[in-house]
Structure 1
Amino acid sequence: MAPETERLPLSVARSYPARLSRRSLLKVGATAAGGLALAVALPSWSKAASKENDPALNAFVRIEPDGRVHLTIPSVEMGQGIYTSMSMLLAEELEVDLDAVTVEHAPPNDALYANPIPILRQQTTGASASIRGFWRPLRLAGAAARLMLVAAAAKQWNVAASTCSVKNGVVFDSSGAKSLPYRSLLRSAVTLKPPAPDQIKLKPPEQFKLIGRSPKRIEAADKVSGRTQFGIDVILPGLRVAAVAISPVAGGRPRNVNKAAALATKGVRQVVTTDEAVAVVADHMGAAKKGLASAAITWDDGPNASVDSKMLVEQLKRASEAPGAVARNEGHFEQAFSGAARRIEATYELPFLAHAAMEPMNCTVHVRKNSCEIWVGTQIPTVTQAAVAALLGIPQEAVIIHNQYIGGGFGRRLEPDGTLLAVQIGKQVDGPVKVIWSREEDIQHDIYRPYYYDRISAGLDAAGQPVAWHHRVCGSSIIARAVPALFKNGLDFDAVEGAAEPPYALPNILVDYVRAEPPGVTTGFWRGVGPAHNVFVVESFVDELAAAAGQDPVEYRRNLLGHNPRALAVLNLAAEKAGWGKPMPAGKGRGVAVQFAFGSYLSLVAEVAVDEKGTVKVERVVCAVDCGLPINPVMIDAQVQSGTIFGLTAALRGVITFKDGRVEQSNFDTYLPMRIEKAPRIETYIVPSAAEPGGLGEAATAIVAPAVTNAIFAATRRRIRRLPIEST
């Protein structure tokens, strides 16, 4: 088994393959309709205790008498395509067509559906960990079910199971003359003992029929046709809709609310207040919004009314001057730095960022006397369930969560605050109510990616190679707030991921972390928090070192990656496909970056054009990926494309600023997304690999910014150390 989470550096934990307990691996039961239910029972995964005697509580796989295969997905689908990839893993080993598999959300239960990746150990969709956590358990479940069905057929024919074969859910004898479909074998298979772990032999890659291919996404047709139900689409009998206004300053409260004017609006049924918000409950959203406007709310801003961005940045700057908690210390940095032939120092700044998901925050609740029913898209169903139970003072099992498709998560749905606010409102409403945040409320009351103010320095020898390296990360700690048990000795392991263990050979390395909490601002996970900031700093600074040494940026990196063949391979492939070294016209440049994060290696080359006004256009992005065994190549390409666009939006324009305690950005006119005409051509190249699969949901987001800023330097000789680009 893997060490406990808190003993692992995050970069190790996030790439650590899920190990399987040999105790209680598989359990079998019958479905209500008489089919076969197969549970992958691994109690050692979770922080919670499982019920050993229930054979099919988590029932990852159910085969019904009609032949349909039902797969319960522990992770939630929010655009990343895991429903298709996870179904492929099961279907591959079960030997059924992908079309035969239907998926459903898992109910909240850490003991049954916790992700086995060490940094999670609970039912969470995050850290690019869905495939990494479940790729082996799902294959085992499929293989075990297949073995049991084959054994049932062999018993009926009185032959050895080893002489039988399976194709498309049908078992054949050795001659091929006899055959039995799975559906006719379920009753006998359910009486058999599941195979022991050492009896389950998974397919070698050369036998794959689905893995490595790119079938159509199983949820795509419903999304295109509008049949998919996201959280915001929930409709229930007697449902009311609530528009909400939250204090514009953190810690503020409603002062005056014109309830009479709001209630006079046609369709408005109720005005509800909480400590921090006002909600107008109505028959439909239009009436709720009109009523909210009529309420003419005034606010008591509270203690954070004077918070502004200049003050917050100055606070971080001062904090970064003091030593922090040591994340890595190898060699003798001070000695090597002082004796270096050349010393280079820089500071880098990255702003607060919002998530700005296409689907704004929403939650439907029905609070009853001793129970609560919730319809919401959440990345943390069990955490949300526990938080609601504590708020209402009811048992956790009395909180029923119906998880929905999510229209963009990016870490925002790793927080229960939206659900808790909806429950506070729902307590005061008789019947179900759907609470919907406006786009303005969503952006101005986000839980933001932290602002970082980093100091970095290096000493070079006479040949321009680094002999000393110091990176000081300074920013707020998400881990200390969200998972305080894992914040130890002043170190936030997520904040230093990508800094503590860069892919390069760097002697005499010191990395430390300074925690500095901004008053009146709550920070949280954002699509790859640690790497999304540290890769920018590290890769920008490596480029600075290459320039100082008078060396080509790709060749400079090659010299530092001799010990790291996978990183070197993606660098070489990206450089080759991008045509690195070919001359560029005036005003254009190429930039490169390399990273290891979430268990995957990436290298990205960006080509940019900068006009005489300094306007930057990213024209082309070339990305080479080694994410281990590629499950679905088209999905890998989609992840690279989506992550690149998300990262480019942040790098070019993304910034949240404060004035008088208030967020200044409010909608897509001030928190600017990338427009389609600005999107570059994106090329993805996959390095073949048989290694354990890595994650990709956040990887491209982290690497694109430094490649772009390095390209800007190549085009203009202007070095960018503060994001967003368009503000410099």
Structure 2
Amino acid sequence: MFHLLDAPLEAARPSRRNFLKLSAGALGGLMLALRMPGTAQAANQTGDLAQPFVHIRPDNKVIVLIKHLDKGQGTATGLATLVADELDADAAQVETNFAPANVELYKNLAFGVQGTGGSTAMANSFIQYRTAGAAAKAMLVAAAAQKWDVLAGEITVSKGIVNHTSGQSASFGELAELAGRQDVPAKPSLKTPADWVYIGKSFPRVDMAAKTTGAVSLYGMDHQADNMLVAVLARPPKFGTVPAKVDDAEARKIEGVVDVVMVPSGVAVLATTTWPAIKARDLLNITWDNSKAEQRGTSAMAEELADMTAQTGFTVPSGHGDVEAALSSAAKVIEIDYAFPFLAHAPMEPLDITVLYDGESATFWTGSQFQTIDQMVAGGVLGLTPDKVSINTLWAGGSFGRRAQPDSHYFAEASLIAKARLDAGNAPQPIKVVWTREDDIKGGYYRPMVAHKARVGFDEDGNVLGWLHRVAAKSIMTGTAFEQYSVKDGVDSTTVEGIGEMPYDLPAFQAEAHNAETAVPVLWWRSVGHTHTGYVAETMIDRLAKEAGEDPLAYRLKRVRNPRLAGVLKLAAEKADWGKPLAEGRYRGIAAVESFKSYVAEVAEISFREDGTVKIEKVICAVDCGIPINPDNIRAQMEGGIGYGLGAILRNEITMTDGVVDQENFDTYLPLRMTDMPEIDVHIVASEEAPTGVGEPGTPPIGPAVANAIAAAKGEWITDLPMSKHDLA
């Protein structure tokens, strides 16, 4: 969902002094860890150390410690796959736990804080988790060799059993304690791809049984604690509004209501259960201070953005050639404007968080995505050092960027409520803050509203001479801790990613950016800037192909610079029978986008319903994400990304009237229906390149692929989303 500094995979490979071991304390067994260069290290007599990744218990369970949030994208399964393969564990013995919040121990190697996003989980952990598994295996073998008085070279490991040529064998659990006393190998040998058992093949989802049966409470919304209160907030009607005063007399009459607390983000009603809190919230009489509120509607905001793109903006440094000269000498110039609405994330599980604060320490339970930032913000509100703030990361029912908050506002909110209760003399008790669906849809932190303007000049034969591209949106990164990495000379990289440097050969190209101001909070949304830049770039390429009188696929392949992008274009086209006649009433379009260092091409086959709406019949997807760690999960992520992208382009939008959000729930912020979901066929490119992202790259190509298919049928491209605004009959 975001982009920061990248680090090569080799940075994760440990040296001898970085690799230490950790005993399991009272549980016994073997725990391995990787100490990152430059971090503090304190190995004590019980074996405590930095960066624990795998714990082998005497009961023969292999516990993989997951440093990333799993919000449905399969991260826990992916990391377990890496450990299990190098360890030669049996899949049935592998379990996962989320690691605690500790930046020194569990940082994301891609951007230096503990957090999940930008489709970096597998990429930054690939060597790290494999190495932990390989070291554990080597120590088990050494333990067996010592116990049986044999040579280690005579020992093999398979499906969780350590075997010797003499016929002796032992389980991991039987060897765990002795293995924990072995020297940690300086540089454990990693398998070659030919020896992989799970990587690139399959590994069962570690969360499947619990999620299917519901036997275990996984999510923050499920969390319960003794003596717990539930807090629901009356939130401001406009962004930038704050509560001035509140009359809570009627609310306090509701049975179960315990307290009413005013905080900057609204007025919280605390009750013994959720329903009385919601019921009482509706009885609050609040006076709001609108002096700093956003008072405009989205129509006025869209006009402002469009006006910006008519002016010179901040220059994106990746341009080349003399665009102005090219446009002034062109025989023909086309100018196309695009408009994209605010989008909510709308995960199935809205935000929720439980806090227990006693004045000296605080513990949180939630699907934390940015543990380091969440820990620091909560500590700042409560006056605690990070070591006094514990975060129990739970499974999250979706996020799509919503939980990755630079301001950690829901941690701050929960902390303020808990502090207010304690300061008022109340005894410490758990407080769960719950967002309703309406709170979620109306609560902001949207994908920014965006405007694009593309001006392209051609010679008399339809060849492109130059392309000037302007983008206007509120910056996601400005004002956050990530600004120093992502905002340079006025240009937020997340605004222009995907359009700052086109993947096709062009004689001259220049992009410019404008930063809009609004009180509406914005946030990364699944695939961030690529959600709109990919749409514009790939529909514009189809236009250029039409101007040149060429087939859209042939036009791309003649000009695409990256062979991996060309590869997925060819694969998707081949599997879609590109160039062969379609059935009557069927049309298709193609698009390809590189995002998060992965390459995805999609061919959309469409038809039209009698009511003039488009029906996506089939999508062929080709993805090159480097080494495919778990093909089943990659297919699932491509399918999910395509569905998520379809919902956005077909009918999703957040609109405002006089600063008030018009949508409230799924009856007005319309989700994708089962009848909208196409048949999807995913093809994964075999690769030995380092693994890259799959959580987000499936989303950007689907919009332009559908738009190009519509243009193939109607001769015009939709440039103002969502498509539900347009009668396609």
The TM tier, using the shorter chain, reads: over 0.9
- Tell me whether 1:78 sits opposite 2:68 in the alignment: no
Contact 2:316–2:500 (8 Å) recurs in 1: no
What's 1:105 paired with?
Answer: 98
Task: Please tell me whether the aligned partners of residues 231 and 405 of structure 1 are also in contact (alpha carbons under 8 angstroms).
Answer: yes
Distance between the aligned counterparts of 1:689 and 1:111, measured in 2?
Answer: 33
- On the 8 A contact 1:478/1:525 being kept in 2, the answer is yes
Query: Amino acid of the residue matched to residue 590 of structure 1?
Result: R
The amino acid across from 2:587 in the alignment is G
Equivalenced residue count is 708
* SS of residue paired to 1:43: coil
TM-score under structure 2 length normalisation: 0.93
Residue 169 of structure 1 corresponds to 160
Task: Name the counterpart of 2:29.
Answer: 35
Is the 8 Å Cα contact of residues 643 and 701 (structure 1) preserved in structure 2? yes
- Is structure 2 residue 374 aligned with structure 1 residue 384? yes
Shift of 1:305: 5.1
Please state if 1:64 is matched with 2:62: no
Say which of 664, 684, 694 aligns to 1:686.
684
Question: Structure 1 residue 502: deviation in Å?
Answer: 3.2
* 1:110-150 C-alpha deviation (Å, 9 max, x unpaired): 11111112xx2211110011111112111111011111221
Residue matched to 1:3 = none
Say if 1:653 and 1:121 are closer, same or farther in 2 by CA, change over 3 A: same
Name which of structure 1's ranges 52-61 and 625-634 shifts more when overlaid on structure 2. 52-61
1:261 to 245, 250, 268: 250
2:593 to 577, 583, 595: 595
Instruction: Tell me by how many angstroms 1:527 deviates.
Output: 0.6
Q: What are the residue-to-residue correspondences of 1:141-220 with 2, within 5 Å?
A: 141-173=132-164, 175-197=165-187, 200-220=188-208
**Residue identity matched to 1:634:** D
The answer (yes or no) to whether the contact 1:453–1:473 under 8 Å persists in 2 is: yes
Who is 1:345 aligned against? 335
How far does residue 302 in structure 1 lie from its aligned partner after superposition?
A: 2.6
Instruction: Provide the C-alpha distance between the structure 2 equivalents of 1:670 and 1:552, rounded to a whole number of angstroms.
Output: 39
Q: For the residues of structure 1 that align with 2:189 and 2:462, how far apart are their CA atoms?
A: 51
Give the CA deviation at 1:340: 4.2
1:250 aligns with 2:245: no
Distance in 1, matches of 2:601 and 2:182, equals 49
> 2-side partners of 1:640 and 1:305: how far apart?
37
Shift of 1:188: 3.4
- Tell me, yes or no, if the aligned pair for 1:306 and 1:661 is still in contact at 8 Å: yes
The aligned amino acid for 2:29 is: G
The 2-side partners of 1:12 and 1:305 are apart by: 30
Q: Does 1:133 align with 2:105?
A: no
2:319 paired with 1:329: yes
- Please state whether the residue corresponding to 2:537 is helix, strand or coil: helix
Aligned equivalents of 1:98, 1:547: Cα separation in 2: 52
- What pairs with 1:391-430 in structure 2 (closer than 5 Å)? 391-415=381-405, 416-429=408-421, 430=426
Which string of whole-angstrom CA distances, capped at 9 and with x for unpartnered residues, describes residues 519-555 of structure 1? 2211111111121111111101101101111211111
Give the 3 Å change call, closer, same or farther, for CA 329–16 of structure 1 in structure 2: farther
Cα deviation for residue 359 of structure 1 reads 0.8
How far, CA to CA, are the matches of 2:353 and 2:381 in structure 1? 16
Partner of residue 446, structure 1: 444
Is 1:522 the equivalent of 2:512? no
Deviation at 1:328, TM superposition (A): 0.8
AA aligned to 1:709 is: A
Q: 1:374, CA displacement in angstroms? A: 1.2
Partner in structure 2 of residue 6 of structure 1: none
Q: 1:13 to 1:264 in 2, by over 3 A?
A: closer
Change (3 A) 1:21 1:512: farther
Instruction: Label 1:323 to 1:292 Cα distance change in 2 as closer, same or farther (>3 A).
Output: closer
> Residue 21 of structure 1 contacts residue 42 of structure 1 at CA under 8 Å; is this kept in 2?
no
Contact 1:601 1:627 in 2 (8 A): yes
Structure 1 residue 296: Cα displacement = 3.8
- Tell me: CA distance 1:116–1:462, structure 2 relative to 1, closer, same or farther (3 Å): farther
1:488 corresponds in structure 2 to 488
How much has 1:222 moved relative to structure 2? 0.5
Asked whether the 8 Å contact 1:93–1:203 carries over to 2, the reply is yes
Distance 1:25 1:71 in 2: 19
Alignment partners' CA distance in 2, 1:376 and 1:615: 40
Question: Structure 1: which 5+ residue stretches go unaligned?
Answer: 1-9
Distance 1:715 1:586 in 2: 11
Shift of 1:688: 1.2
Q: Is the 8 A contact 2:621 2:682 kept in 1?
A: yes
Q: Cα gap change, 1:390/1:124 in structure 2, threshold over 3 Å: closer, same or farther?
A: same
For 1:665 and 1:263, how far apart are their aligned partners in 2?
A: 29
Q: 1:52 to 1:460 in 2, by over 3 A?
A: farther
Whole-Å separation in 2 of the counterparts to 1:443 and 1:50: 43
Distance 1:594 1:669 in 2: 32
CA contact (8 A) 1:362 1:376 kept: yes
Matches within 5 A, 1:241-640: 241-255=230-244, 257-304=246-293, 306-320=295-309, 321-415=311-405, 416-429=408-421, 430=426, 431-461=429-459, 464-482=462-480, 483-486=482-485, 487-517=487-517, 519-561=518-560, 563-584=561-582, 587-611=585-609, 613-640=611-638
CA–CA separation in structure 1 for the residues paired with 2:529 and 2:95:
35
Query: What secondary structure is seen at the aligned counterpart in 1 of 2:496?
Result: coil
Give the secondary-structure state (helix, strand or coil) at the position aligned to 2:493: coil
SS at match of 1:260: coil
Amino acid at match of 2:196: F
Distance 1:196-1:335 versus aligned 2 partners, 3 A rule: farther
Matched residue of 2:365: which SS?
strand
Q: Is the 8 A contact 1:14 1:127 kept in 2?
A: no
Q: Aligned partners of 1:178, 1:145: CA distance in 2, in Å?
A: 20
Look up the equivalent residue of 2:34 and give its one-letter code.
V
Contact 2:444/2:520 (8 A) holds in 1: no
Amino acid in structure 2 at the alignment position of 1:393: G
2:13–2:128 CA contact under 8 A, matched in 1: no
For 2:10 and 2:108, locate their aligned partners in 1 and report how far apart those are by CA, in whole Å.
9
Deviating beyond 6 angstroms after TM superposition, the runs of 4 or more aligned structure 1 residues are none
The letter for the 2-side match of 1:58 is: Q
Q: Answer yes or no: is the 8 Å Cα contact 2:91–2:204 preserved in 1.
A: no
Deviates more, 1:421-430 or 1:347-356: 421-430
Over residues 501-520 of structure 1, what are the superposed CA-to-partner deviations in whole Å (9 max), with x where a residue is unaligned?
Answer: 33322332222322222x22
Indicate conservation of the 8 Å contact 2:50/2:104, yes or no: no
* 8 A Cα contact 2:377 2:411, kept in partner: no
Q: Which whole-Å CA distance do the structure 1 matches of 2:324 and 2:151 have between them?
A: 70
Q: Could you tell me which residue of structure 2 aligns to residue 5 of structure 1?
A: none
How big is the shift at 1:667? 0.8
Once the two structures are superposed, residues 693-719 of structure 1 have per-residue CA deviations (whole angstroms, 9 ceiling, x without a partner) of 111111111111111111111111121
How far off is 1:664 after superposition?
A: 1.2
Return the alpha-carbon distance in structure 1 between the equivalents of residues 450 and 500 of structure 2. Answer: 16
- Give deviations 1:152-190, integer Å, cap 9, x for gaps: 3234444442332211222223x3423333333333332
Q: Provide the rounded CA distance (Å) in 1 between the counterparts of 2:449 and 2:581.
A: 37
Stretch deviating more after TM superposition (159-168 or 699-708): 159-168
Counterparts of 1:396 and 1:169, CA distance in 2: 38
Amino acid at match of 1:370: E
CA shift for structure 1 position 276 = 3.2
Secondary structure in 2 aligned to 1:310? helix
Return the offset for 1:609.
1.6
Deviation at 1:298, TM superposition (A): 4.3
Aligned-residue offset at 1:18: 5.5
Distance in 2 between the 1:532 and 1:176 partners?
60
Q: AA paired with 1:535?
A: G
